[in-house]
Amino acid sequence: MNINPPKILAVITTFNPGDIGWVTSKQGSSFNHFWFKTIYSWLEQKEVELDLIVADTISGSISRERLKAYQELRNKFNLIFINEHYSMLVAINLAIMLSKKEKYNYFAFHSDLEFQNKYNLQKLLGIFGNYPNTVLVAPQSDRDMFLYSPQLICFNEDRVPSRIVIGEGVNGHLFIWNKRFAQAYDYKIPDILEGSRVEDFFHYLCAAIKGNWMISHDVQINHLVNQDKGGDYRNQESKFYHKDFYQMLREGVPLGLGHQECLPYSKEPNRIDKDRKLYNKSGYPIYDKALHFYLKENLFLKKDRFDYDKINYSMKMK
């Protein structure tokens, strides 16, 4: 038994406007829905000190009643009901903001996964200690996983983790980051997009603080369903964003920024290639501090345009 297990805050987002599937589906009449499988899977993880928050973004009343009933049954997680239509990214940031975030060593988010055994999370957290300079970790996924480098898509219990470098990307469906990463970005993840497709920014966020994003090969999660409510890459900016999205990306190119290089079929304005000369042999930007400042200024909603303190929500504690 781990005497001092790592402390992690995990956020699961749920989203079901109109209670789709609950009324007509027998699945919705019990606790077999994928949300509950996801919650159960997290709560069963061993050798970690886990606090779990389920943040619901404007589901219908039936869905919320089911979530409350399941919380009363399990009594091991907190609920946040957001009463306005915001993205899952906003929901994640709000959940972290409302927690005692400084006490955690690690943070994670996901909405529709199932661990394959009770020690998957412990193994993923072990990467941080075993591979110095790791600030972000993602596992393998059994489906709907895209990488620019196909050799990184490999579930092999004997293979060590791989570093995801600039120009690569992963849709790993579970992201875990440490306190160093969290503090560098004020305990937030980028919230300027309406959808969940922020993966392409993660390697820049890591590189700007000279940290590494690692993908495991010996842990694979079950991706239960595609719940992403984001749409086309060309029309995802939050209505609260303060400038033109693609102009912002192009202005960041002299600092080492790029966008959607991991999608070889992308065309302008979707794809913006970074300048490789702006990176050293270790894969870090030569203007790391400037890039870090630029990302903080441009990937996060400004408080004068969007104030988290004014979000209409309610909480149901365990």
Mean of pLDDT values over 202-212: 95
- State which amino acid sits at residue 284: Y
Lowest mean pLDDT among 4-18, 156-170, 200-214, 246-260: 156-170
Residue 215 falls within a domain, yes or no? yes
Domain count, the chain: 1
The pLDDT of residue 142 is 84
Flag whether pLDDT at 109 surpasses 90. yes
CA distance 256 to 309: 33
Whether the predicted pLDDT of 189 surpasses 50: yes
The 8-class DSSP code of residue 173 comes to: S
Residues contacting residue 54 through CB under 8 Å, at least 6 positions apart: 11, 12, 13, 14, 35, 39, 67, 71, 77, 78, 79, 80
Helix (H, G, I), strand (E, B) or coil at 51: strand
Tell me: pLDDT of 201 over 60: yes
Whether residue 272 contacts residue 250, with contact meaning beta carbons closer than 8 Å, is answered with yes
Residue 130 lies in a domain: yes
Instruction: Give the CATH number of the domain where residue 204 resides.
Output: 3.90.550.10
Cα gap 300→192, rounded to integer Å:
6
Residue at 1 is within a domain: no
- Alpha-carbon torsion 63, 314, 238, 223, what sign? negative
How much is the pLDDT for 150? 63
Q: What are 9's strand-pairing partners?
A: 51, 107
Hey, what are 306's tokens? 């969007």
Judge whether 318 lies within some domain: no
pLDDT of residue 226: 58
C-beta of residue 238 within 8 angstroms of C-beta of residue 191:
yes
- The domain of 303 spans 7-308
Phi, psi of 144 (to 5 degrees): 55, 50
For 163, list phi and psi in degrees, rounded to 5: -90, 135
- pLDDT tens digits for 50-79? 999 999 988 888 889 999 999 999 989 999
pTM of the model: 0.91
**Distance spanning both ends of the chain, measured CA to CA:** 26
Helix (H/G/I), strand (E/B), else coil: 237: strand
